[in-house]
Amino acid sequence: MPSLDVAGEFETIERLLRPLAHPEWGRGLADDVAVLPSRPGYDLVLTKDVIVEGVHFLPDDPLETVAKKLLRVNLSDLAAKGSEPFGYLLACCWSDRCGWPEREAFAAGLAQDQALFGVFLMGGDTVRTPGPAVFSLTALGWVPAGEAVSRAGAQVGDLVFVTGTIGDGLLGLQAAQAKLKLDAERLARLIDHYRTPMPRLDFADVVRNLATAAADVSDGLAADLNHIAKASGVGIALNLSVLPLSAAAQAWFEDRVDPQAALEDLATGGDDYQIVFTAHPRHEETLRREAERRLLRLTRIGAVTAGEGVAVDYGGRRIELARRGWTHG
Amino acid sequence: MPSLDVAGEFETIERLLRPLAHPEWGRGLADDVAVLPSRPGYDLVLTKDVIVEGVHFLPDDPLETVAKKLLRVNLSDLAAKGSEPFGYLLACCWSDRCGWPEREAFAAGLAQDQALFGVFLMGGDTVRTPGPAVFSLTALGWVPAGEAVSRAGAQVGDLVFVTGTIGDGLLGLQAAQAKLKLDAERLARLIDHYRTPMPRLDFADVVRNLATAAADVSDGLAADLNHIAKASGVGIALNLSVLPLSAAAQAWFEDRVDPQAALEDLATGGDDYQIVFTAHPRHEETLRREAERRLLRLTRIGAVTAGEGVAVDYGGRRIELARRGWTHG
């Protein structure tokens, strides 16, 4: 598409984005398309997320971390399906605040994450917008043919596990908005998590081999479990009392007057980018061993039941969540 | 990605977008990803464009045609590479003006074009934005392995051809902005072209078999030829006098005081979505026959030369273009 904006886009592609291109498939960003050879024996896994300034990231977030977060939230989707990412297409709608230094920071963030995660830019588009900045990314990954994990395979009797800790996404947002009272180091860690969450690619192969259903925790643990329950035609019992908390979240939690409400907030907050999945009980030991080998926390938070929806237990009592998590949007 | 917006996005996916999903690969839009089986012997061709309200489409364009244009400009990129489209991922950032009826119109436009072009929705994202509406689309197509046409293959001695007519994109924009004086029927045709350009998929196989280099005319004929010249390391001689014009463009042209300036405007205006390509002279007759069979206009507009850049000839004189076409953006 052409645009009425003349300055900057050509240079942005030429000087900032071309160095990020896949050496072959991206065609040096000098063509209209990317061309990807077939990989027999593998399925291609695709996901596309879009983030809007003021909605999905804060206007004062550095563009370096905005770029990283954009890439990482997409890689998180691939990880939860047991897929190995290799590339992405990118569309940037730069706002007025995105001058050359900001664009350089954006590209620098991508360059660092490309090296970290082994992915390359394949193509895309760069335009200006009179409104808030908008960035869209399509991530591409491989998975052995037929082995992509879905949301739909949970079986009654399976156990429910989650990697890492839950709630840092919500607390990180509050920290970044200066709404949280904690010591400086913990605040910094939470803000780091909010700005540059770590996609659980290190656990993707385990999920692929052992999980019956999986999703990444983006909408909120309860909402994402609900997606799995619905797609699988089962119920899920979630034990709120064992929610795994980071040290920072634990410190915040200990200051709460109403611990149940606090845990509910964390379980519905979203933006955690952990993997929540179901697996047959016979795999529990293997799962724990694999998590340990990867220095990764793994918590059994519930079980798959007959019925529908998510039934939440807190201290032995069945409770109703006031809020089911962010709506998909 | 979660967002703070609760109303509308879930329903938009459930009621408007799910009916558009590929029956298998799109996973009913009920998963985090699309999963695409490998197609041995074929390469996957990918392209991604983004359009912003007020920049790439007009605030009063109906959302039905905005959706069609978004899809078509991406399909145009695939056609120019000789590729056959089959699917797309979509990200919608709805503005305040995008209520339910507007979203229904957007989905209806997609449904019509899916039937027309044989493509399916594979996945994506839908969010709200406080700014102008932004839509991003990633289109997917197949091409026999190794046969994707690039911008880089033009050879000295090749001829340069363009399908259809040039300038309707520019005049269509002016017509849609009520800046053009022409009879009502011609205005309507130009506005139609601006809002729903026709990707030249009907000529994609010919381009794949016979073109040495190709691009779709999106940035402007002169600019897109310049891309080909640069990527191929050659020069291109463009004969402005033979620029193919539609009846509406011809009527506009005949009213101009300065015919050379008028043709320059049309050759640099962009948004035409024709295919411009280079081919060996021995294929000229076959190309003309194939175009005729498809009821498609095909015009020889120049030749590939040693040197670099685009040399424009008008009435036997070498001229300099005041403007080289829209910058990519």
Q: Do A2 and B329 touch (CB under 8 A)?
A: yes
Band of the pLDDT at B10, cuts 50, 70, 90? Answer: confident
Write the pLDDT tens digit of every residue in A279-289: 999 999 999 99
Question: Residue A26 above 70 pLDDT?
Answer: yes
Q: What is the mean pLDDT of residues B198-203?
A: 97
Please name the residues in contact with A178: beta carbons below 8 A apart, sequence gap of 6 or more.
none
Band of the pLDDT at B1, cuts 50, 70, 90? Answer: very low
For A65, what's the count of Cα atoms within 13 Å in the CB-facing half-sphere?
Answer: 16
For residue A230, how far is the Cα from the chain centroid? 20
Residue of B3, B218, B326 with shortest CB distance to A56: B3
- Distances, alpha carbon B285 to alpha carbons A76, B159, B204, B290, B310, in Å: 53, 12, 17, 9, 25
Band of the pLDDT at B24, cuts 50, 70, 90? Answer: confident
Band of the pLDDT at A327, cuts 50, 70, 90? Answer: very low
ipTM here = 0.91
Concatenating the DSSP letter of every residue in B80-144 gives: HTT-EEEEEEEEEEE-TT--HHHHHHHHHHHHHHHHHHT-EEEEEEEEE-SSS-EEEEEEEEEEE
Count A/B contacts: CB-CB distance under 8 Å: 295
Q: How far is Cα B85 from Cα B79, in angstroms, rounded to an integer?
A: 8
Contacting residues of A for B37, CB less than 8 Å apart: 43-44, 145
Helical (H) or strand (E) element with A263: helix A259-268
Q: Where in chain B are the domains? A: 9-144, 159-319
> Phi and psi at residue B95, in whole multiples of 5°?
-90, 180
Token pair for residue B55?
């920049």
Find out whether B93 and A50 touch, Cβ atoms under 8 Å: yes
Q: Which residues of A are annotated as a binding site?
A: 32, 47, 49, 56, 77, 124-125, 151, 216, 218-219, 271, 326
Q: What is the mean pLDDT of residues B258-281?
A: 96
Q: Please state at what angle helix B247-254 crosses helix B259-268, rounded to 10 degrees.
A: 140
Residue of B41, B52, B123 with shortest CB distance to A127: B52
**Average pLDDT across chain B, whole number:** 93
DSSP B327: P
Q: What percentage of chain A has pLDDT greater than the value 70?
A: 96
Most A-contacting residue of B4, B18, B31, B149 (CB-CB within 10 A), to test interface? B31
Q: How far is Cα A133 from Cα A129, in angstroms, rounded to an integer?
A: 7
Q: Do B329 and A128 touch (CB under 8 A)?
A: yes
DSSP B16: I
**Average pLDDT across chain A, whole number:** 93
Question: Residue A305 above 70 pLDDT?
Answer: yes
CATH architecture classification, B9-144:
2-Layer Sandwich (3.30)
Q: Do A36 and B46 touch (CB under 8 A)?
A: yes
Q: What share of chain B is helix, strand, coil (3-state, %, to 5)?
A: 40, 25, 35
Q: Please state at what angle helix A63-80 crosses helix A184-195, rounded to 10 degrees.
A: 70
Q: Do A5 and B327 touch (CB under 8 A)?
A: yes
Q: What is the mean pLDDT of residues A238-256?
A: 97
Task: Consult the annotation and say whether B202 binds a ligand.
Answer: no
Please state, as a whole number, how many other Cβ atoms lie within 10 Å of the Cβ of residue B14.
Answer: 13
Please state, as a whole number, how many other Cβ atoms lie within 10 Å of the Cβ of residue A57.
Answer: 24
- Distances, alpha carbon A23 to alpha carbons A20, A30, B233, B301, in Å: 9, 12, 19, 33
Token pair for residue A243?
């929610």
Residue of A41, A136, A271 with shortest CB distance to B50: A136
CATH architecture classification, A159-319:
Alpha-Beta Complex (3.90)
Sign of dihedral through CA atoms B252, B256, B258, B259? positive
Contacting residues of B for A211, CB less than 8 Å apart: none
Higher pLDDT, B7 or A294: A294
Most A-contacting residue of B9, B48, B224 (CB-CB within 10 A), to test interface? B48
Q: What is the pLDDT of residue B30?
A: 82
Q: Do B220 and A2 touch (CB under 8 A)?
A: yes
Contacting residues of A for B39, CB less than 8 Å apart: 38
Q: What is the pLDDT of residue A326?
A: 40
Band of the pLDDT at B324, cuts 50, 70, 90? Answer: low
Write the pLDDT tens digit of every residue in A28-62: 888 889 999 999 999 999 999 999 999 999 999 99
Q: Please state at what angle helix B168-176 crosses helix B247-254, rounded to 10 degrees.
A: 80
Check for a shared fold between A9-144 and A159-319.
Answer: no
Q: What is the mean pLDDT of residues B81-86?
A: 97
Q: How far is Cα B177 from Cα B190, in angstroms, rounded to an integer?
A: 11
Min Cα–Cα distance to chain B from A249, Å: 20
Band of the pLDDT at A64, cuts 50, 70, 90? Answer: very high
